[in-house]
Amino acid sequence: MDSKNTKYLVLTIVLLILSGFGIFWMFKIKSVPAPVQESPQVAQEVSPTTTPEIATTPEEATISSEVATPSPTKKLSPTPTIKITPTIKIIPTLKPTLVPTEIEEKTKSLTFTNQNDAFSIVYSSSRGEFTDKETSGNRYTFTNPAGNFAVHVAPSGTWAWSHSNRSFNSNLVISGQNTFRYDNDTQTIVDLQSSDKNYTIQCVHNGKEALKTECEEFIQSFNLL
């Protein structure tokens, strides 16, 4: 074989060896990071976070058990509260005795009587009373800021107010007399007659239930003398 060819052959073999050695080291270098994965590092980072969480749970359990333990010892607290209860029960018994006296004073009934116009009527002491003249005759007013009540007295043949269809019936009988009753949202008016006079009982209640109730009592208390 020619020496020149031999030289080339040797160089070729050396290159092949070097190439194989280089390829071996390339694969080796690439394979080195593969075992050194980041998962162990993540696992190392996760493990400390997991450990405090696991450590926290028993601590919370111990706190809850410590809070639960005093509750049996607090069974002593109901005893003083039971002792206080009878003293509180005494207070309501005192209040009812005071309230009725105040109500009785406010709702005291008074009787108004007029011999000239021959009637009497009962009204609440919370109302004022005054008498004046009107075109048809005398007017007796029982005043209250919430709504006034009044009795209008006129001679026979005259009325304190006009109505086109005034008809008397026994649906409401006052002092033995049939009446004519008129109601609207703000007032109630009742007319009745004696032998020589005409009476109109008027309640301005403004739709308030308390005044409506008082009005019914006021009307029913009217009496001819």
Q: Residues 208-220: what's their mean pLDDT?
A: 97
Instruction: Determine the Cα–Cα distance for residues 13 and 18; give it in Å rounded to an integer.
Output: 9
Contacts (Cβ under 8 Å, ≥6 apart) of 109: 122, 123, 124, 125
CATH fold label, 109-224: Protein Transport Mog1p; Chain A (3.40.1000)
CB atoms under 10 Å from CB of 199, counted, come to: 26
More confidently predicted of 111 and 4? 111
Q: Residues 127-151: what's their mean pLDDT?
A: 97
Query: pLDDT category, 7, cuts 50, 70, 90?
Result: confident
pLDDT value at position 2?
Answer: 60
CATH 3.40.1000.10 intervals, the chain: 109-224
Region of poorest pLDDT, from 1-10, 105-114, 213-222? 1-10
Mean pLDDT of the residues in the chain: 76
Contacts (Cβ under 8 Å, ≥6 apart) of 189: 161, 181, 182, 183, 200, 201, 202, 203
| 213 in Cβ contact with 142 (< 8 Å) | no
Instruction: Please give the full DSSP string across 77-137, using - where no structure is assigned.
Output: THHHHHHHHHHHHHHHHHHHHHHHHHHHHHT-EEEEEETTTTEEEEEETTSEEEEEEETTE
Model pTM score: 0.55
Q: Residues 121-132: what's their mean pLDDT?
A: 96
Supply φ then ψ for residue 166, to 5 degrees. -85, 110
Q: Residues 154-162: what's their mean pLDDT?
A: 96
Query: pLDDT category, 46, cuts 50, 70, 90?
Result: very low
CB atoms under 10 Å from CB of 160, counted, come to: 21
Side chain identity at residue 82, one-letter code? I
More confidently predicted of 75 and 88? 75
Dihedral, CA atoms, 135, 136, 141, 144, nearest 10 degrees?
Answer: -70
- Which segments of 144-196 are extended strands (E)? 149-155, 169-174, 177-183, 187-193
Contacts (Cβ under 8 Å, ≥6 apart) of 64: none
- Is residue 40 predicted with pLDDT exceeding 50? no
CB atoms under 10 Å from CB of 200, counted, come to: 21
pLDDT value at position 15?
Answer: 80
CA 106, 122, 142, 184 dihedral sign is positive
Residue with tokens 């004073």: 105
**CA 114 and chain centroid, separation:** 50
